[in-house]
Structure 1
């Protein structure tokens, strides 16, 4: 016990000596720093403090902004599916007959046309009509990080001739890392259903599921080196269906030319709140 007490006293003495030595070494540095601060004009000190405060505020606002609910809805789909007509119907209540296929996204932030007569505060929607040409589809990736939802527009009138192409595009969207990780909801919107010969949404859903199931089987044989960022769709060993997706996928109908956009508006308001 006496040896232990002596060891403790010796340790305390060493600690005290080390602390005193550190203080002696730090005193000149502190003195130099104090003298330097005194030489700095007060305006520079105030400027430095202002910059520090402003930076802190901006960082705080940035974190708060990231927490805010996204208000961007993306209109995607093949060229000719009627995305641009839907965009104008939602914005202006008009089909804008005579519009041509755009090589750049149409986008705008606005209150939906059908809601302009409503009282109270309305949350504007940032709507983006992404070009459907295969070379321009990568533009979709630029908007996905801010997306609250994706509307995949399908031509219900000329559906079967474009089934393969539409399924491939939809498959690519469903397997994007940004879509899966954020569980971005997707609405498959069957457009042009005002036409007598248009296919029903149930028929379109089933055909898309069958075609995507074929794509899933064929693409699983490809080396994962080329699709490292993709996620596997569905349940292994089972036929593919949309309920198997990690994000919610629903199917609805619309007629852009006649202005029947009730179901797509409901989807928008389900994910961009008032």
Structure 2
């Protein structure tokens, strides 16, 4: 590996860590970069997931203040992310990549609609239920987080968009608080999926690639937290919609 290739991979990891912390979809930077340099798709996906764990750590740390009031919420949602990520990682190892190609753009498009309409829908739902989280909303939220975890363990691109869209509708929280929760759940998914890969199929991991992505993603997570927390709610939602739309176009192409 040349120093130029290593530098490009580190920079791609930095970009992915930044975008993952603000929105999600950072995999759409690192994964194509690894494919460009000729790494096999499955190995690139697995090595990339492992490397991006570092960005999840720094991004979650950067949003720690927004998480102070959300610890109980995270405690209830984390098991769903954990279980989903294991299922998704195992699916990656046994199913062809084409299995999810048709549904992924549809899921992202739905998530974008939820991101835009989420606050209005949430206010309506809160009015209908006296500002309480009903059992039905909890079930929908946990199932949605489980599905997002499965998708994140399988591929991961735009997992954050899915989570933000889902939580925008079902949780009476601001966009920054939702982003903090999203970062922790995304970290859980990436870490558990990576651990599953290490245990089940370590031969698919390129440790050099994983290390380079991790170096860049670690720096990107801190950058993303600083930038994302400084954004007003309307701008953060606009960025989510733009990046989610780009993700759909890239995946379709």
Q: Do the two structures share a fold, i.e. TM-score over 0.5?
A: no
When normalised by structure 2's length, the TM-score is 0.27
Q: Which has the higher strand share?
A: 1
Higher relative contact order (CA 8 A, sep 6+): 2
Q: Give 1 or 2 for the bigger CA radius of gyration.
A: 1
When normalised by structure 1's length, the TM-score is 0.25
Q: Which has the higher helix share?
A: 2
